Chain A
Amino acid sequence: MKWVSQDMDMFLGAKEYVDTAVLPLFPVSFGNDIKQSVAMTEFIQLLTIPLERQFKGRMIMLPGHSYLKNKSKEKLLEEVIVWEKELFDNGFKHVFFVTSDSMWKSIEGELKGGLIWLPSIPLAAMDEGARNNILEDQVKQLLQLFMQKWQEDV
């Protein structure tokens, strides 16, 4: 389910079936890495669309959490911990963060929710055919990952 009114009616009517919340993490920077931060955000945004479609009835895809890259790791971690606490407190059994920013990899251990890190691929430089193939491939892997994690926790 997406964070839109129509899907919310469905969510409120079937809460017990929606046990997973996904929060995309989007880095924003105006420094030297501006383009890189855009590519990361873009890539994850693209991937979350088919992900949500595939697992519509079980997960809620939150509007992403954007953060400034020049903030300290500790601060960023603190914010995300507030997010996951809120989500767990609201009854979600699985909380996932999806991101391209490798910074999160280094503090993965501090998170209670699962971190799904996918290196961003320079899609802008490719023609459409190649781009679709790569995306499809990435989506497949992503779906597998979710199914695996669900199974582990049964």
Chain B
Amino acid sequence: MSKHRVSRRQFLNYTLTGVGGFMAAGMLMPMVRFAVDPVLKASASGDFIPTPQKISEITEEPTRVDFSFEQKDAWYTSEVTNTAWVYKDENGEIVALSPVCKHLGCVVDWNTDKANQNRFYCPCHGGLYEKDGTNVPGTPPIAKLDVYPTQEKDGFLLLGKAKPREEA
């Protein structure tokens, strides 16, 4: 009888320690991550990323340029491919627009909606933007498409981090 009781208590003890250990580990791991994460993050921003697009081949027609880089998403790194719509404006300046719709973040396409030639079109809720990225009133988006800062190196286009535009 008494032997039984001890073993039950022991059993409880073991279980509780076990659960406690688990909980401690569960609490500790995120804390370590929070502590380490900002350090990891700092290195990934502010750089210009090379693209395969030759500056000399950029025309007045927006063209899709894909470029890949390593991104730190929370605490893991992955290879991401981003896209820009790139063209030269009437002054010959290079414009690189982010394809991410300012409504809810779908990817917009150039000139794909037959009823809206020469505009960016968002397939999700019919958002529209003019060639310069200005949102067309009456469609869901409420801001212009973000722009990438651009740079040139050895004849190729480099892109920075896309930024929202200041409202005029």
A contact residues vs B (CB 8 Å cutoff): 10, 14, 17-18, 53-58, 147, 150
A6, closest chain B residue (CB): B74
> Using an 8 Å CB-CB cutoff, how does the interface string of B123-140 with A read, 1 for contact, 0 for none?
111000000000000001
B contact residues vs A (CB 8 Å cutoff): 101, 103-107, 122-125, 140
B105, closest chain A residue (CB): A56
Q: Are A14 and B104 in contact, with the CB atoms below 8 A?
A: yes
Contact residues in B for A55 (Cβ distance below 8 Å)? 106-107, 123-124
Contact residues in A for B107 (Cβ distance below 8 Å)? 53-56
Closest 7 CB pairs of A and B: A57-B104, A58-B124, A56-B105, A57-B106, A57-B124, A54-B107, A57-B105
* Chain A: minimal CB distance from B103 (Å): 6
* Chain A: minimal CB distance from B96 (Å): 19
A-B contact count (CB 8 A): 35
* Chain A: minimal CB distance from B33 (Å): 15
Contact of B123 among A14, A17, A53, A147 (CB under 8 A): A147
A4, closest chain B residue (CB): B74
Contact residues in A for B105 (Cβ distance below 8 Å)? 10, 56-57
* Chain B: minimal CB distance from A47 (Å): 14
B103, closest chain A residue (CB): A57
A50, closest chain B residue (CB): B81
Contact residues in B for A58 (Cβ distance below 8 Å)? 104, 106, 124-125
Supply 8 A–B pairs (Cβ within 8 Å), ascending by A: A14-B104, A17-B140, A54-B106, A55-B107, A56-B104, A56-B105, A57-B104, A57-B124
* Chain A: minimal CB distance from B115 (Å): 13
